[in-house]
């Protein structure tokens, strides 16, 4: 049981599942069949599991002392982690290839961004960029999975996702700021400092939410948009807390908030 739990943690389950669910929801809204919806979700599950496992594999030295990390805690071996990287990626790309060539291209772009982040971009001033671009690709991937042309409004949604994705990346890194600083990592959050990072997160999320509300058609669900705004405020507030676990919840709640807004807008074009 401990071993299975370790393998699940290695996949970074919450963001992986959230991305898969959002892709499935958007593919459904785009008119995809049940098979296309399932393949879209499987693509996201596979690729993001691969990215998450690689992240922990490359960060074993930095993660020393963090018993919750399965590789450091010993519940998963490096060999098993390497196998997960390869198998999950294979499953993800096989699912994407069963959709369309465009889906494979977008999935490959997302995977490349994640792998580049793991390989070293996370220690640079542009550490937020792969995350932001990856989030922006999800609506485009979902419409390609459904075999539907990308509407201008959804293309706009992809662009609006860029500042929101940047904010999520900063929130995620803020949770680990002290650990990163202690091992000499110099990503964007370490360079900016805590207060400036929090201010930038609030600015980016506020701008994203404003753009989402302004661009939303009149038929967009006001309830989902309101829930998204409330969750976004909660997420940003949690990111200001001293406790690391609360800061971790902050970016997760914010991700759920943006997903709610995106679905509200996409549903209005159904």
**Statement to judge: residues 67 and 105 lie in one domain:** yes
Given 133, 149, 165, the domain boundary residue is 149
Tally of structural domains, the chain: 2
Residues 14 and 1 in one domain: yes
pLDDT at 9: 85
Say whether pLDDT at 154 is over 80. yes
State the pLDDT at residue 108.
Answer: 98
Asked whether 127 and 250 are in contact (CB, 8 A), the reply is: no
pLDDT at 70: 83
Of 117, 149, 181, which residue sits at a domain end? 149
DSSP for the chain, written as a single string: -HHHHHHHHHT-HHHHHHHHHHHHHHHHHTT--HHHHHHHHHHHHHHHHHHHHHHHHHTTTTTTT-TTSHHHHTSS-HHHHHHHHHHHHHHHHHHHHTT-HHHHHHHHHHHHHHHHHHHTGGGSTTTTHHHHHHHHHHHHHHHHHTT----HHHHHHHHHHHHHHHHHHHHHHHHTHHHHHHTT---HHHHH-HHHHHHHHHHHHHHHHHHHHHHS-TTS-HHHHHHHHHHHHHHHHHHTSSSHHHHHHHHHHHHHHHHHHHHHHHHTT-
More confident residue, 147 or 13: 147
What CATH number corresponds to the domain at position 235?
1.20.120
Tell me: do 20 and 136 sit in the same domain: yes
pLDDT exceeds cutoff 70 at 2: no
Q: Are 241 and 267 found together in one domain? A: yes
Q: Do 125 and 183 fall into the same domain?
A: no
Q: Which residue, of 119, 149, 179, is where some domain finishes?
A: 149
Same domain flag for 156 and 143: no
Provide the residue range defining the domain that includes 134: 1-149
Q: Is the pLDDT of residue 1 over 60?
A: no
The per-residue pLDDT for range 182-199, each reduced to its tens digit, is 666 777 888 889 999 999
pLDDT score for 183: 65
Both 143 and 155 in one domain: the answer is no
Query: Tens digits of per-residue pLDDT, 235-264?
Result: 999 999 988 889 989 999 999 999 999 999
For the chain, give the mean pLDDT: 91
User: Domain of 29: which CATH number?
Assistant: 1.10.357.140
Examine the pLDDT at 165 and tell me if it is beyond 80.
yes
Same domain, 114 and 193: no
- Does residue 126 sit in the same domain as residue 71? yes
Band of pLDDT at residue 158, cut at 50, 70 and 90:
very high
Note whether 197 and 256 are same-domain residues: yes
pTM of the model: 0.90
> Is the domain of 108 the same as that of 2?
yes
136 and 155 housed in the same domain: no
pLDDT band of 206, cuts 50, 70, 90: very high
């Amino acid at each position: 049981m401990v071993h299975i739990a370790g393998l699940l943690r290695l996949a970074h389950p919450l963001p992986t599942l959230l991305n898969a669910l959002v892709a499935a929801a958007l593919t459904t809204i785009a008119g995809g069949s049940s098979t296309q919806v399932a393949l879209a979700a499987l693509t996201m599950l596979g690729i993001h599991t691969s990215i998450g496992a690689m992240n922990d594999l490359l960060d074993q030295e930095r993660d020393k002392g963090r018993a919750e990390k399965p590789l450091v805690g010993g519940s998963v071996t490096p060999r098993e982690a390497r196998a997960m990287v390869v198998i999950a990626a294979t499953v993800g790309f096989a699912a994407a290839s069963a959709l369309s060539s465009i889906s494979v291209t977008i999935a490959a772009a997302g995977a490349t961004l994640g792998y580049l982040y793991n390989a070293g971009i996370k220690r640079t001033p542009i550490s937020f960029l792969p995350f932001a671009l990856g989030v922006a690709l999800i609506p485009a991937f979902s419409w390609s999975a459904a075999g539907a042309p990308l509407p201008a409004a959804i293309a706009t949604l992809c662009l609006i996702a860029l500042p929101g994705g940047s904010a999520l990346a900063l929130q995620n890194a803020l949770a680990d700021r002290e650990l990163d600083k202690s091992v000499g990592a110099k990503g964007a959050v370490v360079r900016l400092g805590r207060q400036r990072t929090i201010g930038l997160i609030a600015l980016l999320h506020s701008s994203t939410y404003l753009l989402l509300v302004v661009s939303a058609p009149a038929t967009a669900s006001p309830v989902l948009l309101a829930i998204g705004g409330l969750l976004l405020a909660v997420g940003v507030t949690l990111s200001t807390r001293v406790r690391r676990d609360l800061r971790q919840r902050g970016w997760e709640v914010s991700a759920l908030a943006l997903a709610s807004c995106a679905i509200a807008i996409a549903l209005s074009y159904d």
